[in-house]
């Protein structure tokens, strides 16, 4: 029953300004798919092209087997949850949810049943007769979701649905959304600029920047093996080092030489790369912070205690500012001004071309 | 009264509060109270009775004016709504060629003095009207002109639909496009969407503006007086009874005034209720974008919008055109164009009408600025029981029909200790009082946007309370205050219904000059006077747009 969405070489133009030039993407049936990127990256533009509020200037968008380019939004059978919820303020919760069923001329008794059922699914069954203005942000969010899915759309679109909620509610609602999506198994496209949210809810994520898809993959894949420096720094935090990579040795492994003479051997670089200057990304939690031994020499400048973990801001002997994280209950702890050594775990780091900033790691997602 | 009673306020502000209060007591409450009293004093001059009210409700000749008023106003309000809503909807949702100019024309037709519309339509559709002559020639009939009911409704409608337009257009502007899109994604489009989503959301604005139209037209004196002929409305009756050459009946005129005030107050209260019902405090993240509408649909939309706007602006065009026509020096136009009407209106006694208008207007604005700004400051920042009372009192000038305020003033200031009858002061004061609400409201609006902490910062840096007001708050309020003052000014110079009662031989204004010229049949002079008035209004309006950076007026 779930359908796929095939986006093939689509183009979006505003006058002379081309915002999206030839973007292709396939979303699998029943998948929770997220478009993630900084504001202005084209993610909402693409979402609005899928539902039809934005015209398509080139290429095709197909939902299931049906190319929808020229089908008006009202006939596409897509449910949408808007950033500001767009709850009709003059109707009760029940009337809001019933709205789409009425336009579909469902019998009155059936409408009442469906509305009751869906309100229980999103756990606001007791709010049916309330006016929207009396609801909290989270409750309004649930109404918007109920209204979008009660029409049994083929596809559900969500445009930054959690951005208006406070931090705690955001976590609660994203889990609720994920749970409901799993239960009804609907193909869902979700837009957000919040990488943590994307990692938490998605089956797969497309990271976008400047109207171009940077990487598509499962959350863990994108986090561990970013396709380029942009993804490495946009998803989570990464320290970027400049380093020298040697040519492949007899076993295919290479040495990566950091500043101050520290080097490690890595075995997962694509064979076609020769010796060259590279950029290396290391996440704060991927360092081993030692008081002495082999590694990049550094001095602790400041620390931030965050309960579970403690963040160390250190300056390397080469003058680079680096962030490293240790569990707070780690037996090692370092005072401001103390000298430390940062060692990296070769299998965890990511290596990118210096100019191209593209990953040189063999299994990195494309 | 001791200053200590004012919460968080210095003796200076306490003194100002009392002074402002005294101003309103003398120039508003006292005249109103006097009229109320007079309405209950019997014919013998001493005993209290309901005789005047009984007279009104027993004789058809009198009460029919109330029925007439209601009939034309209900009709005109419905017509205004029927024109205002679609125009607002089309202008917001469809790309209309020349939209900027249309918006200005709509607002110009709204701010120009109401009775000019009536008089221009007489020139077109009256007994001797230009269009009437064509009708007579083509159909071989003797059309008697659009006097009475139809004429009043026509003039009122074209004058009032812009108010509905302004309100509905404002509501549509605050509507987020996601609401419309949500409906569309749920399968609801076109007329059905306009009916189930858009209309209910702007309904409070429609109702609120309808009642404003109702109040405005109910109080209008000039239009029914000029074009109504035998069809008498309430303000016409009030004027006639008061000015009756057979010996004015003060008590009866007072009773009529009281009835009028009661009606407008009731309408106002209902209006307030409905306006506050506007619980969908909408704010548009992404406002609705005007879309290109092509084909037959687009042509029809354009035709409709242009037809209505042209009709609404016709009176101004007719008046300006007439003002340049050549006449035989009296009431008969001869072929050709000339500036003789202008020469005439700038000379002698006529000239003083021009001069008086600007002088009185500016003096009234000076009073309005000082009192209005202080009232808004007191009611927002120095809240106390007394300023709350002040807040309520300042609503009255907005509610009271002009002719009634004129009568209130005349009763109050024709005797000791304050004889102002026939002076310029009484006109200036009546203008100031009548048009104060515009400035108070826009000052209050801008003041409530300014954080009190700005003033507290000034005080913490050593400024006195008065100093922080003058040096910090007042400059920040200035743009909003000026915008309101310009609206006060535009409406003050077009005031007729109170000034027609209060003017004396030496205190004629442009509006009175127009009125008198029309009554005498001197259409050339009337047109020249009107054109001056319209030109002043338009220049002021453009100034307002420049100042606020928006093509909008607050009403």
Nearest to B279 among A73, A133, A148 (CB): A133
Asked if pLDDT for residue B3 goes beyond 70, the answer is no
pLDDT at res. A363 = 66
Enter the tokens of residue A54. Answer: 């934005």
pLDDT at res. B4 = 37
Minimal-distance CA residue of chain A relative to B188: A103
Asked if pLDDT for residue A94 goes beyond 70, the answer is yes
| Closest to A309 measured CA to CA, from A339, A329, A280 | A329
Highest mean pLDDT among A269-278, B17-26, B184-193: B17-26
Q: Chain A contact for B189, CB < 8 A?
A: yes
Asked if pLDDT for residue A29 goes beyond 50, the answer is yes
Q: What is the pLDDT of residues B249-294, one digit of tens each?
A: 788 889 999 999 999 999 988 888 887 765 566 666 778 888 888 8
Q: What is the pLDDT of residues B96-108, one digit of tens each?
A: 999 989 999 999 8
A321, A315 in Cβ contact below 8 A? Answer: yes
Minimal-distance CA residue of chain A relative to B185: A74
Percentage of chain B beyond pLDDT 70 is 95
Tell the burial category of B528 from Cβ atoms under 10 Å away from its Cβ (0-12, 13-18, 19+): buried
Residue B512, CB-side half-sphere exposure with 13 Å CA sphere: 24
CA distance A317 to A336: 16
| Closest to A254 measured CA to CA, from A232, A239, A273 | A273
Q: What is the pLDDT of residues A187-208, one digit of tens each?
A: 999 999 999 999 999 999 999 9
Task: Note whether B186 contacts A72, CB cutoff 8 Å.
Answer: no
Q: Chain A contact for B36, CB < 8 A?
A: no
Task: Note whether B186 contacts A51, CB cutoff 8 Å.
Answer: no
Enter the tokens of residue A122. Answer: 């999103």
Task: Note whether A103 contacts B178, CB cutoff 8 Å.
Answer: no
* Cα angle for residues A313, A319, A324 (degrees, 5° grid): 25
Q: Which A-chain residues 329-348 have CB contacts (< 8 A) with chain B?
A: none
Rounded average pLDDT over A261-285: 89
Minimal-distance CA residue of chain B relative to A50: B185
Q: In terms of DSSP H, where are the helices of B394-473?
A: 396-399, 402-412, 424-447, 452-460, 465-468
**Structure-model confidence comparison of residues B365 and B271, the more confident one:** B365
Rounded average pLDDT over A226-235: 95
Nearest-CA distance from B80 to chain A in Å? 25
Rounded average pLDDT over B400-417: 89
Nearest to A86 among B181, B189, B196 (CB): B181
Mean pLDDT, rounded, of chain B? 87
CA distance A329 to B235: 86
Nearest-CA distance from A289 to chain B in Å? 47
Nearest to A100 among B178, B187, B285 (CB): B187
Highest mean pLDDT among A306-315, B137-146, B450-459, B517-526: A306-315
Nearest-CA distance from A103 to chain B in Å? 6
CA distance B233 to B64: 8
A208, A37 in Cβ contact below 8 A? Answer: yes
Nearest-CA distance from A340 to chain B in Å? 48
Asked if pLDDT for residue B5 goes beyond 50, the answer is no
Mean pLDDT, rounded, of chain A? 91
> Quick one: which H or E segment has residue B149?
helix B149-173
A213, A22 in Cβ contact below 8 A? Answer: no
Task: Note whether A80 contacts B279, CB cutoff 8 Å.
Answer: no
Task: Note whether B182 contacts A86, CB cutoff 8 Å.
Answer: yes
Q: Chains A and B: how many Cβ contacts under 8 Å?
A: 67
Q: Which residues of A touch B183 (CB under 8 A)?
A: 88, 99
pLDDT at res. B480 = 87
User: In whole angstroms, how far apart are CA A193 and each of A160, A165, A207, B491?
Assistant: 8, 14, 10, 51
pLDDT at res. B138 = 87
Enter the tokens of residue A262. Answer: 């520290």
Q: Which residues of A touch B279 (CB under 8 A)?
A: 89, 133
What is the tally of helices (H) and strands (E) in chain A?
Answer: 8, 20
Percentage of chain A beyond pLDDT 70 is 99
Q: Chain A contact for B276, CB < 8 A?
A: no
User: In whole angstroms, how far apart are CA A115 and each of A104, A145, A148?
Assistant: 14, 12, 11
Asked if pLDDT for residue A365 goes beyond 60, the answer is no
Q: What is the pLDDT of residues B445-469, one digit of tens each?
A: 899 888 888 887 877 777 788 888 8
Long-range contacts of A357-361 (CB under 8 A, 24+ apart): A357/A228, A357/A229, A357/A230, A357/A279, A358/A227, A358/A228, A359/A225, A359/A226, A359/A227, A359/A228, A360/A245, A360/A269, A360/A270, A360/A273, A360/A278, A361/A225, A361/A268, A361/A269, A361/A270
A231, A214 in Cβ contact below 8 A? Answer: yes
Nearest to A100 among B186, B197, B280 (CB): B186
Nearest-CA distance from A218 to chain B in Å? 29
Residues linked to residue A255 through DSSP beta bridges, in sequence order: A265
ipTM of the modeled complex: 0.75
């Amino acid at each position: 029953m779930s359908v796929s969405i095939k986006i093939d070489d689509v183009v979006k133009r505003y006058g002379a300004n081309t915002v999206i030039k030839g973007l292709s993407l396939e979303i699998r049936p029943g998948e929770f798919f997220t478009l993630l990127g900084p504001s202005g990256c084209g993610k909402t533009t693409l979402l609005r092209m899928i539902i039809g509020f934005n015209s398509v200037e080139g290429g095709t968008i197909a939902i299931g087997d049906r190319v929808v380019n020229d089908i008006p939004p009202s006939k596409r059978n897509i449910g949408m949850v808007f950033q500001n919820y767009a709850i009709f303020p003059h109707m009760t919760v029940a009337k809001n949810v019933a709205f789409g069923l009425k336009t579909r001329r469902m019998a009155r008794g059936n409408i009442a049943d469906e509305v009751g059922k869906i309100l229980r699914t999103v756990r606001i069954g007791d709010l049916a007769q309330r006016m929207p203005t009396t609801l909290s942000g989270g409750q309004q969010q649930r109404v918007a979701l109920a209204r979008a899915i009660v029409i049994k759309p083929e596809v559900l679109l969500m445009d930054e649905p959690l951005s208006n909620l406070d931090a705690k509610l955001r976590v609660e609602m994203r889990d609720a959304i994920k749970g409901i999506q799993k239960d009804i198994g609907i193909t869902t496209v979700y837009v957000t600029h919040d990488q943590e949210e994307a990692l938490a809810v998605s089956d797969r994520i497309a990271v976008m920047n400047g109207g171009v898809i940077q990487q598509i993959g499962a959350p863990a894949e994108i986090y561990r093996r970013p396709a380029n420096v942009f993804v490495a720094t946009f998803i989570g935090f990464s320290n970027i080092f400049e380093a020298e990579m040697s040519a492949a040795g007899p076993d295919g492994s290479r040495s990566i030489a950091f500043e101050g003479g520290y080097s490690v051997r890595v075995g997962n670089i694509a064979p076609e790369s020769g010796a060259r200057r590279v950029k290396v990304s290391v996440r704060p939690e991927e360092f081993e912070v030692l008081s002495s031994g082999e590694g990049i020499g550094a001095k602790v400048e400041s620390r931030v205690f965050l309960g579970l973990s403690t963040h160390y801001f250190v300056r390397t002997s080469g003058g680079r500012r680096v962030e490293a994280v240790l569990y707070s209950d780690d037996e090692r702890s370092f005072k401001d001004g103390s000298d430390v050594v940062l060692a990296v775990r070769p299998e965890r780091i990511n290596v990118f071309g210096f100019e191209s900033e593209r990953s040189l790691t063999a299994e990195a997602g494309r | 009264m001791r200053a200590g009673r004012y919460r968080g306020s210095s003796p200076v502000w306490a003194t100002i509060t009392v002074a402002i209060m005294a101003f309103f007591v003398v120039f508003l409450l006292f005249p109103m109270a006097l009229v109320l009293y007079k309405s209950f004093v019997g014919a013998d001059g001493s005993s209290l009775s309901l005789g005047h009210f009984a007279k009104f409700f027993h004789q058809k000749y009198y009460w029919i004016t109330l029925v007439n008023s209601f009939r034309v106003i209900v009709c005109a309000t419905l017509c205004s709504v029927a024109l205002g809503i679609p125009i607002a909807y089309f202008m917001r949702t469809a790309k209309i060629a020349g939209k900027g100019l249309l918006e200005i024309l709509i607002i110009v037709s709204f701010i120009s003095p109401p009775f000019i519309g009536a008089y221009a339509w007489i020139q077109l559709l009256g007994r001797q009207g230009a269009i009437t002559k064509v009708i007579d020639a083509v159909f071989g009939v003797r059309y008697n002109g659009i006097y009475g009911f139809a004429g009043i409704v026509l003039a009122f409608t074209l004058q009032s639909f812009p108010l509905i337009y302004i309100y509905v257009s404002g509501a549509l502007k605050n509507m987020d496009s996601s609401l419309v899109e949500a409906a569309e994604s749920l399968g609801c489009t076109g007329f059905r969407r306009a009916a189930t989503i858009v209309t209910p959301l702007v309904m409070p604005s429609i109702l609120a503006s309808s009642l404003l139209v109702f109040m405005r037209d109910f109080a209008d004196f000039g239009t029914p007086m000029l074009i109504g002929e035998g069809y008498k409305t309430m303000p016409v009756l009030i004027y006639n009874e008061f000015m009756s050459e057979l010996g004015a009946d003060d008590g009866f005129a007072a009773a009529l005034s009281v009835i009028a005030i009661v009606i407008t107050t009731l309408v106002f209260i209902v209006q307030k209720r409905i306006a506050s019902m506007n619980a969908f405090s909408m704010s548009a993240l992404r406002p609705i974008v005007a879309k290109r509408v092509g084909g037959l649909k687009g042509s029809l939309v354009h035709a409709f919008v242009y037809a209505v706007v042209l009709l609404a602006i016709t009176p101004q065009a007719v008046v300006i055109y007439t003002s340049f026509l050549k006449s035989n020096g009296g009431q008969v136009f001869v072929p050709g164009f000339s500036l003789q009407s202008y020469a005439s209106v700038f000379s002698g006694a006529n000239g003083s009408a021009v001069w008086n208008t600007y002088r009185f207007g500016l003096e009234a604005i000076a009073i309005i600025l000082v009192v209005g700004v202080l009232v808004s400051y007191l009611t927002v920042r120095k809240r106390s029981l007394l300023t709350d009372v002040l807040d309520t009192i300042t609503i009255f000038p907005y509610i009271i029909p002009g002719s009634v305020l004129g009568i209130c003033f005349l009763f109050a200031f024709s005797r000791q200790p304050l004889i102002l009858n026939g002076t310029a002061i009484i006109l200036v004061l009546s203008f100031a009082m009548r048009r104060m609400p515009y400035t108070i409201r826009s000052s209050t609006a801008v003041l409530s946007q300014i954080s009190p902490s700005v003033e507290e910062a000034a005080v913490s840096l050593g400024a006195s309370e008065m100093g922080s007001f003058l040096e910090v708050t007042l400059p920040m309020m200035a743009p909003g205050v000026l915008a309101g003052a310009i609206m006060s000014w535009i409406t003050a110079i077009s005031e007729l219904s109170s000034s027609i009662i209060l003017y004396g031989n030496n205190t004629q204004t442009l509006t009175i000059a127009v009125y008198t010229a029309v009554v005498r049949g001197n259409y050339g002079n009337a047109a020249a006077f009107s054109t001056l008035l319209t030109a002043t209004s338009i220049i002021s309006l453009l100034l307002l747009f420049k100042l606020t950076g928006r093509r909008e007026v607050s009403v």
